[in-house]
Amino acid sequence: MYTGSMQENFDPRTIQDEDLRQVVIDLMNMVETLSTKVQEQVEEIQRLRDENHRLKGPRSAQRGCGRASPDLMSESCSEPALSP
């Protein structure tokens, strides 16, 4: 498995085959780019989760009634009947 510390300990200049050295350098650059992108996405996902939680508010976890069919809902979840 690859870890960032592996890249720090490796010097591609030690590869004598020029073509192979360039391939390794390109791959190392791709790994660095993708690692940065993954970290950005992790941060964005957390930001969206935080925003979702903020928008739902603390009561949303307590409700739990939104998707139940009317015959399965308890009185506390059902909407009041409309009078004619």
Q: Would 82 be classed as within a structural domain?
A: no
Of 53-57, 60-64, 71-75, where does mean pLDDT reach its minimum?
71-75
11: nearest Cα among 2, 24, 30, 23 = 24
Q: Would 72 be classed as within a structural domain?
A: no
Q: Would 66 be classed as within a structural domain?
A: no
Which tokens go with 45?
Answer: 């996902």
How far is the C-alpha of 10 from the C-alpha of 7, rounded, in Å?
5
pLDDT tens-place string over residues 4-54 = 556 678 899 999 999 999 999 999 999 999 999 999 999 999 999 999 999
How far is the C-alpha of 60 from the C-alpha of 80, rounded, in Å?
19
**Number of domains composing the chain:** 1
pLDDT bin (cut points 50, 70, 90) of residue 57 is: confident
How far is the C-alpha of 25 from the C-alpha of 32, rounded, in Å?
11
pLDDT of residue 26: 96
Q: Would 28 be classed as within a structural domain?
A: yes
Q: Would 84 be classed as within a structural domain?
A: no
pLDDT of residue 59: 72
Q: Would 21 be classed as within a structural domain?
A: yes
Domain ranges, residue 26: 4-58
**How much is the pTM?**
0.56
Of all residues in the chain, what percent are helix, strand and coil, respectively (each to 5)?
Answer: 65, 0, 35
Say if residues 5 and 29 touch (Cβ distance below 8 Å): no
pLDDT of residue 63: 60
